Structure 1
Amino acid sequence: METEHMRLKLFFMDLHSVPRNHLRYISWIAYVVTRDPRNGIRESIVVANSPHGNYYVQDGMDMGAIMDTDILSSEYMFDSVNTPIHERLSKKESPKTYLEMDGQLTVHIEWCDSM
């Protein structure tokens, strides 16, 4: 599914810990971690509509929780270590690098509640 904005999909990998015949509610806040290439300072950008939450059962299958962000696809899809710094510095806002040197995106998950 193509969108203008970055989408994240989170899977709960601990379904076996949910007691049989019970539901477990989990809520979390997700952050996309960026880095300013000029000084290396990292910033956490909260994902839209946070906090997120979902119910899980032991025998169920987790299809993943989809989280939309306010980050335009064009801001990170073409993010590359080969992009000249002067192109980023010409922007009025602080330049942000979403991808690490190895092409990985860093997402920070802050668990809020688990019942």
Structure 2
Amino acid sequence: MMLANTLSEVVSSVILQPTQGSGAVAVTAQGVSQAYDRDKQGWIIKTDCHSETVRLHMVFKDIHNVPRNHLRFVSWTAYMLRYHKSLLEPIPIPSAPFSHYYAQEVSDEGIIMETEITVKELREPGCPYLNEKGQLRVQVEWEESYLLFQATYHKYDDIYKVHNQQMKKEISILQAENYGLERQLFSYQKSLAYAHARGGTYSDDMQSPEGREEEDEPFYQDRNYTLGDRSLSTDTEYA
């Protein structure tokens, strides 16, 4: 099955300005970029270069369009486009994918997405994240968008889904461990039957109460047992 998600691509101009009195170069991002999701809802992406790393501020512009008594769940993955020779390589932003529940509000405070691109890297000549016009290119992949009735669904209902996934994972691990133990038990029973078929005996290192070492007698003395003897089988069947 193939999935086709909506993609939005925005650009942000980066200005390099030398500071007065020093040879340092200041990096500032100019303007905001607008994008639209699969439901034709408007979003604003702002680039922030005032910290050590570049940050993207994602704002739901049309949050006032969410119907009353409803929630809109939106999830997305953001990529920074890096120039590699003549190709564009999408680099996912850490902590992706992002998601949030939106209710009707006058405005949205937005979500901060931290990138691994340092501001120092933008100052270097030939930065692979800047095009010939000195612009950063950001690609947003819209993954899920649902309109939920608030009276019957709450964001904390996701706890049940997370717990269900964790329990399934733990059950699969326990099943694998149980299968491994059953294989070891079957191998031990097979080796024991083979040893009895050859007429071998066993001895242990345990001491008797009198301090004397006792030798084990053959487990069965009346008849010889072979690998095909059903008396050595257990109630467990193995494939």
1:64 corresponds to which residue? Answer: 110
Larger radius of gyration: 2
Deviation at 1:101, TM superposition (A): 2.3
The residue aligned with 1:100 is 131
Deviation at 1:20, TM superposition (A): 1.7
- Cα distance in 2, alignment partners of residues 26 and 60 from structure 1: 18
Is 2:44 aligned against 1:13?
no
**1:33 alignment counterpart:** 81
From 132, 137, 142, the counterpart of 1:111: 142
Equivalenced residues, count: 98
- In 1, Cα distance between equivalents of 2:104 and 2:76: 19
Partner of 2:121: 75
How far off its partner does 1:100 sit? 2.2
Residue 105 of structure 1 aligns to a residue whose secondary structure is: strand
Partner Cα separation in structure 2 for residue 53 and residue 17 of structure 1: 18
CA contact (8 A) 1:18 1:24 kept: yes
In 2, distance between residues paired with 1:54 and 1:60? 17
**CA displacement 1:35-69 (0-9 Å, x = unmatched):** 13xx3211100000011112212224211110011
Partner of 1:42, secondary structure, is strand
Give how far 1:16 is off: 3.7
* Structure 2 residue runs without a partner (length 5+): 1-47, 147-239
Structure 1 residue runs of 4+, over 6 Å off? none
CA distance in 1, matches of 2:118, 2:139: 19
The answer as to whether partners of 2:64 and 2:107 remain within 8 angstroms in 1 is no
**Any unmatched runs of 5+ in structure 1?**
89-95
8 Å contact from structure 1 (residues 20, 59) kept in 2: no
Q: Bigger relative contact order, structure 1 or 2, given CA contacts below 8 A and separation 6+? A: 1
TM-score, length-normalised on structure 1? 0.72
Q: Which amino acid aligns with 1:54?
A: H
Higher strand share: 1
Q: Structure 2: how far apart are the matches of 1:34 and 1:74?
A: 16
- The alignment's C-alpha RMSD in Å is 2.0
Q: CA deviation at 1:4?
A: 2.4
> What percentage of residue pairs aligned between the two structures are identical?
40
Larger fraction in helix: 2
**What is the TM-score of this pair, normalised by structure 2?**
0.37
* 1:51 and 2:82 aligned: no
